[in-house]
Amino acid sequence: MPKYILYPGCSLHRMARPYLDSTLALCELLGIELEEVQDWNCCGATEYIAVHHLASYALVGRNLALAAQKVDDTHTVVAACSACYLNLAKTDSYMRQDARLNQQVNEALAAGGLQYIPGSVRVRHLLDVIVNDVGLEHVASSVVRSLKGLRVAPYYGCMIARPDRENRWDNVEHPVAMDRLLKTLGAEVIDFPLKTHCCGGHMTQINLSVAYELIRRLIHGADQYRADVISTLCPICQLNLDAYQGEVNRHFHTSYEMPVLYFTQLMGLAFGLEPETLGIGKEFVAAGPALSHIGVEAVINEGAHATTAVRAGSRKKEKEGLPMPRMPIHEEKSP
C-alpha cells in the first residue's frame, strides 16, 4: 500500500469537510495510505504573502519541514486544496532556485528548531496522484455505479494548473486530467471552455459586484453547455460557485441551480459509497436532482436555496402529470 503524507489545510477541516471525508473514503478503497502532517499550520492562502514575503515562505517552510520528517517510500506530500498545493510547491521550488531565500527561510526555521532541505519532499496534488500513480485502469476497475447520464463540467480553477513550475500538468490553460478521470467513471464530460477561469478567490470579501460577475460567468458557461453538475477540486472554487450562487441569482435576476461537487465525491459515488459518507447534502445548491440521473437517491438538503423558478430548456426530468407553468427566463435581464 503506497503511503503519502497528507497536508489537508484549514479549509478541508472546515468548510470543505466533504472534500476531506470523500478523499479519505475513496483513498481507503483505492488502497492509498494517507498520513497527516503532524501539527501542520495554515499555508497562508493568498493573504500571508501579501503582507510579509519572507515570513510567508517560512510559514510554509514549517509545513515542509514537518512533512519531510514523515516521508518514506513515496517522498510525496499530497494537498487537495489549490492554495495549499501552490504554496507548498512554490516554496519548495523557490527555495531550490534562490540560495538567499533558502538560507533565510532555514535561518527562520532554526528559531523553531527545524530545518528543510528543498527538494526533500515532492509536492503533488491529489488529482495528479490519482490519475498518474493510481492510474485510470485501476480507477475503472473500482467503478460499480457508472456515472452514465450525468453531464459534468470539469472545473479546475487557477492554482492547480498554473503556474506549474514543475510541469506536472499537460496544459496550463486546458488541462484534461480531471476530464479523463470523470470519463473513466462513465460521466458525460463537457468540453468546458472556462475550466481554468477564475472563481474570484477572496474577491467576495473585497468587492462583491466584481466577485459576482466572475462567478456568474462560470455558472452561466456550465449552464449553456447543459451541465448537470460542476466538478471542482478546490475549496474556494466550491464555496464561491455553490454558497454564493443564491446571491449571484439575486444580483443578476437569474435562476441557476447548478450543483457544485468535489471530484472526489463523484468518484466516491461511482465506487458505490453512500452519499452521506461523501458529505453530499452539505452543499448549498442541492445535488440531489442531478444525481437522480444516475439513480442515486436524492439527498434531503435542508438549507439549500429554495427557488421555484424552473429554467426553460432544463433537462431535469419532469414528474408525470400535467405540465406545470414555467417562470419566464430571467437570465437576459441583467442589470
Partner 1 sequence: MTLLETLPNSDTAAATPASPSGNFLQEVMDATPGDSRLAMCIQCGTCGGSCPSAADMDHTPRQLFAMIRADLREQVLRSNTPWYCVSCYYCTVRCPQEVHITDVMYTLKSMAIREKRYADATAPDLSQTFISYIEEYGRSFEFGVAARHQLRHHPFQLPSMLPFGLTMLSKGRMDLIPQHIEGIEQLQAILVRAKELEAS
- Closer to partner 1 by Cβ: residue 108 or 298: 108
Could you tell me what percentage of the chain is helix, strand and coil, using 3-state DSSP and rounding each to the nearest 5? Answer: 45, 10, 50
| Segment 78 to 117, residues that bind partner 1, using CB under 8 A | 93-94, 97-98, 101, 104-105, 107-114
- Closer to partner 1 by Cβ: residue 51 or 324: 51
- Closer to partner 1 by Cβ: residue 40 or 256: 40
- Closer to partner 1 by Cβ: residue 59 or 139: 59
Q: State the pairing for strand pair 151-154/229-232.
A: parallel
Cα–Cα distances in Å, from 293 out to 7, 146, 328? 34, 11, 25
Q: What Rg do the C-alpha atoms of the chain give, in angstroms?
A: 21
Which positions from 293 to 312 touch partner 1 by CB under 8 A, shown as an x/- string?
---------xx---------
For the chain, give me the number of helices (H) and strands (E)?
14, 8
Is residue 163 reached through a cis peptide bond, with omega within 30 degrees of 0 on the bond before it?
yes
Residue 81 CA to chain centroid, in angstroms? Answer: 6
Min CB(188)–partner 1 separation in Å: 28
CA distance linking residue 110 with residue 260, whole number of Å: 43
33-36 β-sheet, strand order: 33-36, 3-7, 76-79, 122-125
Q: Contact with partner 1 (CB under 8 A): which of 24, 29, 34, 55? A: 55
Position 163 contacts partner 1 (CB under 8 A): yes
H-assigned helices in 31-135 = 48-51, 53-68, 82-97, 99-110, 126-128
Number of residues that bind partner 1 (CB under 8 A): 69
- Closer to partner 1 by Cβ: residue 30 or 261: 261
| Segment 2 to 21, residues that bind partner 1, using CB under 8 A | 10-11, 13-17
Position 42 contacts partner 1 (CB under 8 A): yes
Min CB(193)–partner 1 separation in Å: 14
Summarize as ranges the residues that interact with partner 1 (CB under 8 A). 10-11, 13-17, 39-42, 44-55, 57-59, 61-62, 93-94, 97-98, 101, 104-105, 107-114, 158-159, 162-164, 172-173, 197-198, 200-203, 205-208, 210, 214, 243-244, 247, 282, 284, 302-303
